[in-house]
Each structure stands twice: as C-alpha cells, then as structure tokens.
Structure 1
Amino acid sequence: MGDEGGLRRLQSLIKNITLRRTKTSKIKGKPVLELPERKVFIQHITLSDEERKIYQSVKNEGRATIGRYFNEGTVLAHYADVLGLLLRLRQICCHTHLLTNTVSSSGPSGK
C-alpha cells in the first residue's frame, strides 16, 4: 500500500528466507555452478523475397511501436513487447512459419 516501513520489513524478511546464488557464488571455495565456455555462432542467411517482405513489415511495425514507447517515455514499461519483437524477427530468419498471427497493428504483443 506504499508504506515505506512495510516495504523495508518485507525486504528484510525476504532477504533472510531466500537463497540468492549467482554464477560467481562459491560454497566452501568451490563454484556453485560450472558453466561451459560460451560460444557465439553468427550465421548469415539470405531471405527469399516473400520472407524479406514479411521481415521488413514486422521490423517497420516494431520500429514504429518502439518509437511510440520512446515518445511516451514508457519503453521500460513495455520491455517485454520489445523483446517479443526481437524474438519474432529471429523467428522469421529461422522460418516464417514460426511467426504466429499475433503480430498486429496494435503492437508487437498483439494486444
């Protein structure tokens, strides 16, 4: 309800009952998690004319939506939509059938 004291008490409680681990956390000197070396693969592809049209359409619509978020100052409130747009662009590059019909003029999430 906005009470600062209540928020501090809640944070204190959560801190004491939750276990937070990071990639660099160690227990008895040993890493909690050992991850394999990160590998980055860049694969260049050539889209067909139809795929290029779909990609450009989604890209332009997304750009307009993100531009609107910037103008409204609400980009951080819509970060999931921005990430969804990037996912759709990646899906188009893999195969256009991965792109569902949720893309609409109302925004990347189809809301």
Structure 2
Amino acid sequence: MRQNKMTQCSCPLGKAMSALGSKWKPIIVMVIRDRTLRFGEIAARIHVISRKVLTDQLREMEEDGLLIREEFKELPPRVEYSLTEKGIALLPILQLLEEWEARFAMSEMVSVNNN
C-alpha cells in the first residue's frame, strides 16, 4: 500500500512520486499505453506481478486519476482499463526514462568490458 507521507506532500514532485511511487505503476502505464486492456491481459503482459499487487496498483492509479476502470454488467463480468489524459501525458516521460536507461546501460557494459 501507499505511504501516507508521500500522499500528503505539497510539492509537485512529491505528488508525482506518490502517484508513480511503486515499481509497477510506470510499467502498467507503458503496458496499457493508448489501448484498452482487460485485467487478464495486463496480468499476462506483466507476468511477474501477483494478481493482488496488480489489483492494488490499478485501484491506486484509478484514485490518482491515471486510469479509467470500466465495468460491464455481463456474465461473466468484464472490466477494462484505459489511461486518462493525465496517464497518457506520462508516456513521453516514461519513454525518456527508457532511453536514459538504455543509454547508460550501454556505457556501463562498455566500461565493464574494458576493465
């Protein structure tokens, strides 16, 4: 669960880190991207996350306005998730983080191989 200290932070970076403060939330955002996915589809794409943790993270992300949970009154019940405008706005930021990691992962590999 989320730490209360972070949720009460008044600075913009603190609030942003509260919304994305787990290792799973940015990954969930990148998995959903610009499409609508069912719970099982998200779980299959992030197979290393437990269903309980995924459920908790999705609930927090919905509370923070990052995603929309749409429930369909069908048998069997169906729930779909998609990003809100706020969630979609994170995509370029997370893509920059991916590029940052790729850049420095390559330089670290070169450094290790030269030693």
TM-score by length of 1: 0.24
Bigger fraction of residues in strand = 2
TM-score by length of 2: 0.23
Bigger fraction of residues in helix = 2
| Structure of larger gyration radius | 1
**Larger relative contact order, structure 1 or 2 (CA cutoff 8 Å, min sep 6):** 2
